[in-house]
Chain A
Amino acid sequence: MSVLELEDVTKTYGPDVVALDRVSLRVERGELFTIVGRSGSGKSTLMNIMGTLDAPTSGTVRVDGQDTSGLTDRETTELRARSIGFVFQSFHLDDGQTATENVMTGLLYAGVPRRLRRGLAAEALDRVGLSHRLLHRPPQLSGGERQRVAIARAIAKDPTIVLADEPTGALDSRNGELVMGLLEQLSSEGATIAVITHDATVAARSPRRVALHDGVIVGADRAADVAGPGDPARPVAAARGGDPGAGAASLSEEQR
């Protein structure tokens, strides 16, 4: 069953700017899914819409099978609190709070009772390999460690899906490796993770990915992920079948 489904999602800003054009995609339970595209391709808009932070101009977004179009801000927020975990490029941690407290903030709005939060936060930090950094504050942590705290915050509430927006964007390649390895491991443990990245090597690690170009899905490992009602003129750059890594790499070559 799809945990997150976009159907013909279009997002326009004013009459001229089309950020997303009839994007359709599905993220299945337990998979590690990647959307790759350079900056300006509509990645951030897509991320915001997938995360219910923004509403599409037209089209349907379903989270956990629930259509979000008719929901009030309150209901959407509630859905987000329960079902979606976010990981951001710039971590978005509170420097004044310890790693544990940062993770606990994620649990606070998910409605986890106060007495359970500390235990769950410690557990999540343990899962990302930071059980020795519980009381450290972000400025005392390396970039990779900070992103792992952010990942712990996203997974602590056991969301339906984790959305990771350029999770390696602010990290050196070694730490980027570590973070991607962690996401893969969490995925293998059953978490559903969608990564949005401009980095082809990051995308290459993902078993399934789509490419976004100028607001349109242009490449996919599976025909079902291709956007729109079959437009033959649309360039399909990614290789179908074969080595998925090579396909994504060639896409990024073309985009340079």
Chain B
Amino acid sequence: MIRARLSVLDTLAVGTVGLRARRLRSVLAALGIAIGIATVVLVTSIPASSQADLDRRLSALGADLLRADPVQSGDEVRTLPTESQAMLERVGPVTGAAVVANTHAQVRSSALRSQGDGAITALAVSGSLDELLRLRVADGRALDGDVEPTVVLGSDAAERLGLDRLPSAPVTIDIGGVAFTVVGVLAPSPLAVDLQSAVLMDWEDAEVWLDPDVRPTVAYVTAPVETIGELRPVLASTLSPESPGRVLVSRPSDVIAAKQASGATFEGMFVGLAGVALLVGGVGIANTLFASVLERRREIGLRRALGAQRASIRTQFMTEALCLCLAGGALGSAGGAVVTVVWATSRGWPVVIPLGVVCVGIAAALVTGVLAGIAPSVRAARLAPTLALSAE
């Protein structure tokens, strides 16, 4: 008795005969699918990598950070209470507090003269600000409370002063008529953008050299993330018991999150594009197969004469469609992955390629293959062997 069905190996061998005989066309047909799958992988992997980067930054910088600013009105310069830091430290869940004061002292430097002095602010900092904002020193060292007038530069300020790299000899800049020695340069910190264009000095230095009555203009606190919500109004009323509305409490990490969320709205559009690309790829494969069936009528007739069942012919062409789509899917996934790696690496993001999406992409390629293969393979199987053989 003859086995009506070919073995898996035979099916694969027969199903790829046509592909091997028409390599260029096969590659082009598979490329259509590959582009679709690559798009699917890209539109999910790149936002995922970007999200991972955001998460990493947020956790590095802290979603546990709150910032309090006095609400300004008119010409009156409002400040926070002098004892702000101590007041905040007494609030229950607060784990750390720091204050920053704008000294309004002018920063002068020969390097800066041409660009105007106003844009660089001189800030006095107190408490564990470095720790709260996870400030990192890119060059030199941090402030250490020594008696000399010393400053560290925010990254933008350092650039404007031509001091991104500290020279080996000590450098001083003129702040409010006092020569402050530059001891360090800070790395950029997205959560404290206003610090980037400032020079920072110890609170005591500011009191001694610039203004004995320096008053806090910004306060930072950290607290366990789950208490942040209820802590907000408490901070305002702590700093301004009579009118809490005069203090604005914000969470710096929310700003970054909101900025990121606006980018995510494009994602749906890209997924739609990926679907269109897949559809076009599928139509291309169906088209290739139809042409192939017409072209290969003699081969089909011969196979039928040699004893191939209709089902074998159907399977042969379906196998071709599936092989094309699988190859396209694999190629597209690999291509999408490579582009994601390059893109994410170039932006310093961690590389995230959701495995589930790659699986879905390959499954989508297979479904496309089945859909594209049905009509051509049914047509091939229906060809009468006599007609097929007489075709020249």
- A residues touching B (Cβ–Cβ < 8 Å)? 44, 48, 51, 53-54, 73-74, 77-78, 80-82, 86, 88, 90, 92, 94, 96-97, 105-106, 108-111, 114, 153
The yes or no answer to B77 lying at the interface (CB within 8 A) is no
Partner of B2, one of A81, A105, A153: A81
**Inter-chain contact A92/B298, CB cutoff 8 Å:** yes
The yes or no answer to B319 lying at the interface (CB within 8 A) is no
CB distance from A170 to the nearest CB of B (A): 12
Question: What residues of B have a CB within 8 angstroms of the CB of A53 in the complex?
Answer: 304-305, 385-386, 389
Asked whether A80 and B305 contact (CB < 8 A) given A44-B390, A48-B386, the answer is yes
**Inter-chain contact B309/A74, CB cutoff 8 Å:** yes
Q: How far is the CA of A51 from the CA of B302 in the complex (A)?
A: 12
Asked whether A78 and B307 contact (CB < 8 A) given A111-B2, A114-B7, the answer is yes
Partner of A106, one of B7, B306, B386, B392: B306
The yes or no answer to B10 lying at the interface (CB within 8 A) is yes
The yes or no answer to B3 lying at the interface (CB within 8 A) is yes
Question: What residues of B have a CB within 8 angstroms of the CB of A77 in the complex?
Answer: 304, 307-310
The yes or no answer to B4 lying at the interface (CB within 8 A) is yes
The yes or no answer to B178 lying at the interface (CB within 8 A) is no
- B residues touching A (Cβ–Cβ < 8 Å)? 1-4, 6-7, 9-10, 14, 17, 20-21, 298-299, 301-310, 312, 384-386, 389-390, 392
CB distance from A82 to the nearest CB of B (A): 6
CB distance from A161 to the nearest CB of B (A): 13
**Inter-chain contact B299/A94, CB cutoff 8 Å:** yes
**Inter-chain contact B304/A92, CB cutoff 8 Å:** no
CB distance from B159 to the nearest CB of A (A): 65
Partner of B14, one of A44, A48, A80, A108: A108
**Inter-chain contact A109/B307, CB cutoff 8 Å:** yes
Q: How far is the CA of A92 from the CA of B3 in the complex (A)?
A: 24
**Inter-chain contact A109/B303, CB cutoff 8 Å:** yes
**Inter-chain contact A86/B20, CB cutoff 8 Å:** no
Question: What residues of A have a CB within 8 angstroms of the CB of B6 in the complex?
Answer: 108
Report the tally of A-B residue pairs with Cβ distances under 8 A: 70
**Inter-chain contact B310/A80, CB cutoff 8 Å:** no
Partner of B4, one of A78, A105, A106: A78
**Inter-chain contact A88/B307, CB cutoff 8 Å:** no
CB distance from A71 to the nearest CB of B (A): 13
Partner of A111, one of B3, B20, B302: B3
CB distance from A144 to the nearest CB of B (A): 20
Question: What residues of A have a CB within 8 angstroms of the CB of B301 in the complex?
Answer: 92
**Inter-chain contact B309/A96, CB cutoff 8 Å:** no
Asked whether A78 and B17 contact (CB < 8 A) given A53-B304, A88-B389, the answer is no
Question: What residues of B have a CB within 8 angstroms of the CB of A86 in the complex?
Answer: 305-306
Q: How far is the CA of A213 from the CA of B299 in the complex (A)?
A: 30
Q: How far is the CA of A74 from the CA of B384 in the complex (A)?
A: 13
**Inter-chain contact B9/A114, CB cutoff 8 Å:** yes
Interchain residue pairs with CB less than 8 A apart (14): A53-B305, A54-B386, A78-B2, A78-B309, A80-B307, A86-B305, A88-B302, A96-B17, A106-B306, A109-B303, A109-B312, A111-B1, A114-B9, A153-B306
Closest to B3 in A: A111
Closest to B20 in A: A96
**Inter-chain contact B302/A92, CB cutoff 8 Å:** yes
Question: What residues of A have a CB within 8 angstroms of the CB of B392 in the complex?
Answer: 90
CB distance from A38 to the nearest CB of B (A): 17
Asked whether A105 and B390 contact (CB < 8 A) given A96-B17, A114-B7, the answer is no
Asked whether A109 and B7 contact (CB < 8 A) given A48-B386, A92-B298, A96-B20, the answer is no
Closest to B22 in A: A96
Question: What residues of A have a CB within 8 angstroms of the CB of B385 in the complex?
Answer: 53-54
Closest to A93 in B: B302
**Inter-chain contact B312/A94, CB cutoff 8 Å:** no
Q: How far is the CA of A105 from the CA of B300 in the complex (A)?
A: 12
CB distance from B299 to the nearest CB of A (A): 7
- Known pairs A77-B309, A77-B310. 14 more at Cβ < 8 A? A51-B305, A74-B310, A78-B4, A78-B307, A81-B307, A82-B2, A82-B307, A92-B301, A92-B302, A94-B21, A105-B303, A108-B306, A114-B7, A114-B9
Q: How far is the CA of A44 from the CA of B2 in the complex (A)?
A: 28
Closest to B21 in A: A96
Question: What residues of B have a CB within 8 angstroms of the CB of A81 in the complex?
Answer: 2, 306-308
Q: How far is the CA of A80 from the CA of B386 in the complex (A)?
A: 14
CB distance from A129 to the nearest CB of B (A): 22
Question: What residues of A have a CB within 8 angstroms of the CB of B298 in the complex?
Answer: 92
Q: How far is the CA of A166 from the CA of B199 in the complex (A)?
A: 99
CB distance from B157 to the nearest CB of A (A): 71
